[in-house]
């Protein structure tokens, strides 16, 4: 990861990477495998290849930042794009197929509140995924770094948008697995959910396949449902199966944390050490809400999403209905008492 942070940000591929002979061979294999696949299942192969972005058409301009999964670059391909570099072993045909299968799902997503997944980019031996470039700031930056607090009306609007985008992904059979305020951008009062692809893809990466190593990034634990936290504990004690039991219901738990951030302006358990969070959440202890100045209905949304029992957590369609029923505060808008509140939402965002 560090190598991507060096000054060569205009070209993330080093010469040594380009000239590794065994890698060149591997790519030939991949091409051959692709041809075989194409013959076997030409429709499926076509669907995959038509999205691939030709490397000579993509210009990588600057490093935006480095996250848990690696560096993210700004690029140009028919306009500005975000390029996420992946570290997947291209010589492993099984992994490559797993990657393609995973990615073929994400290519079918089209929703106003979900980042546009534009395709994959291959410049041997590196692979990247390309999405639309988000221009605003993340919800994390707005709430935790700039200390902004949204009023209840705005919090409801933003949470509803997140729930709508997430409900769409779930309806498409996609589990986000990394829903957090750093993966939600705010653009002109509208949310954009990003990185719903990454966690699934990155479990294939070389870095993440090291046995018995589990990196816990700052602020990640408070989004993890108890069943994931428990699995994390088993994992760190040496289990070889490193796949965490993510589900649509674990996404709901993460949504609960985002709702908390919107209301409280901080992360749950933000003063606790990782070990303490793991212990508490695993035992079913929740972040206390006594300090939160909000109605019971508002807090109930949190309690439902954070339910210890995954089966008892609501679905996004239920959450949207519940959020919609929450009483809105009246602002300085000229509105008769009988004026339907939802019609004035856009004016408040």
By CB under 6 A, which span of 65-73, 89-97, 162-170, 230-238 interacts with ligand ADP?
Answer: 65-73
Instruction: Give the number of residues in contact with ligand ADP, rule: CB under 6 A.
Output: 16
Question: How far apart are alpha carbons 223 and 252 in whole angstroms?
Answer: 10
Nearest to 253 by CA among 205, 302, 288, 298: 302
| Unique residue bearing structure tokens 């009023």 | 151
Would you count residue 157 as binding ligand ADP (CB under 6 A)?
A: no
* DSSP H or E segment with residue 126: strand 126-132
Return the structure tokens found at 288: 């206390």
Marked catalytic residue, from 8, 31, 56, 178: 178
Among residues 183 and 200, whose Cβ is nearest to Mg ion?
183
Q: Is 82 in the site for ligand ADP (CB under 6 A)?
A: yes
- Which part of the chain contacts Mg ion (CB under 5 A), choosing from 20-28, 128-136, 152-160, 176-184? 176-184
Among 30, 60, 157, 195, binds Mg ion (CB under 5 A): 195
Gap between the Cα atoms of 292 and 167, Å rounded: 27
Q: Are 193 and 165 in contact (CB under 8 A)?
A: yes
Phi and psi (nearest 5°) for 319?
Answer: -60, -45
Least Å distance, CB 16 to ligand ADP, is 24
Active site residue 300: no
Which lies closer to Mg ion via its Cβ, residue 46 or residue 145? 145
* Gyration radius (Cα) of the chain, Å: 22
Q: Does 194 bind ligand ADP (CB under 6 A)?
A: yes
Contacting ligand ADP within 87-126 (CB under 6 A):
115
Rounded Cα distance, 117 and 107, in Å: 6
Count of beta carbons in the 10 Å neighbourhood of residue 268: 22
Of the candidate residues 109, 131, 160, 208, the single one contacting ligand ADP (CB under 6 A): 131
Q: Is 183 in the site for ligand ADP (CB under 6 A)?
A: yes
Q: Which tokens hold the place of 23?
A: 């890698």
User: Pick from 88, 128, 134, 298: which binds ligand ADP (CB under 6 A)?
Assistant: 134
Please state, in angstroms and rounded to a whole number, the distance separating the CA atoms of residues 297 and 322: 9
Residue 251 is a binding residue for Mg ion (CB under 5 A):
no
Query: Interface with Mg ion includes 183 (CB under 5 A)?
Result: yes
Q: Which residue has the tokens 């090291």?
A: 210
**Among residues 100, 126, 170, 182, which is the contact residue for ligand ADP, using CB under 6 A?**
182
Token code pair at residue 122: 């291959």
- CB neighbourhood size of 261 (10 A): 26
Residue 153 in the binding site for ligand ADP (CB under 6 A):
no
134 binds, among ligand ADP, Mg ion, none (CB under 5 to 8 A by kind): ligand ADP
User: Could you list the residues that contact ligand ADP (CB under 6 A)?
Assistant: 64-65, 67-69, 72, 82, 115, 131, 133-134, 138, 182-183, 194-195
Kindly list the catalytic residues: 178
């Amino acid at each position: 990861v560090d190598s991507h942070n060096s000054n060569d940000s205009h070209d993330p591929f080093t010469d040594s990477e380009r000239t590794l002979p065994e890698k060149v061979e591997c790519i030939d294999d991949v091409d051959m495998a692709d041809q075989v696949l194409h013959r076997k299942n030409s429709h499926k192969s076509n669907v995959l290849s038509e999205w691939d972005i030709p490397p000579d058409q993509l210009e990588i301009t600057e490093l935006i930042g480095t996250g848990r999964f690696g560096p993210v670059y700004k690029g140009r391909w028919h306009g500005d794009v975000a390029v996420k570099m992946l570290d997947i072993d291209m010589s492993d045909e099984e992994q490559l197929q797993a990657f393609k299968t995973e990615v073929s799902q994400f290519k079918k997503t089209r929703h106003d509140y979900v980042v546009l997944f534009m395709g994959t980019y291959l410049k041997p031996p590196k692979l990247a995924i390309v999405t639309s470039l988000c221009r605003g700031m993340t919800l994390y930056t707005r709430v935790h770094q700039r200390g902004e607090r949204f009023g209840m009306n705005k919090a409801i609007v933003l949470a509803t948008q997140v729930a709508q985008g997430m409900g769409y992904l779930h309806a498409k059979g996609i589990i986000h697995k990394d829903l957090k305020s750093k993966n939600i951008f705010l653009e002109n009062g509208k949310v954009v959910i990003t990185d719903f692809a990454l966690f699934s893809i990155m479990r294939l990466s070389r870095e993440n396949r090291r046995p018995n190593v589990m990196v816990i990034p700052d602020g990640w634990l408070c989004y993890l449902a108890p069943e994931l936290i428990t699995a994390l504990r088993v994992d760190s004690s040496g289990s070889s199966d490193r796949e965490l039991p993510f589900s649509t219901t674990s996404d709901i738990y993460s949504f609960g944390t985002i709702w908390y951030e919107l209301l409280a302006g901080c992360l749950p358990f933000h003063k606790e050490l990782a070990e303490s969070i793991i212990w508490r959440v695993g035992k079913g202890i929740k972040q206390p809400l006594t300090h939160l100045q909000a109605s019971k209905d508002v807090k109930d949304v949190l309690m439902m999403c954070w339910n210890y029992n995954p089966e008892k957590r609501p679905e996004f369609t239920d959450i949207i209905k519940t959020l919609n029923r929450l009483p809105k505060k009246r602002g300085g808008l000229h509105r008769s008492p009988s004026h339907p509140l939802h019609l004035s939402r856009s004016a408040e965002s």
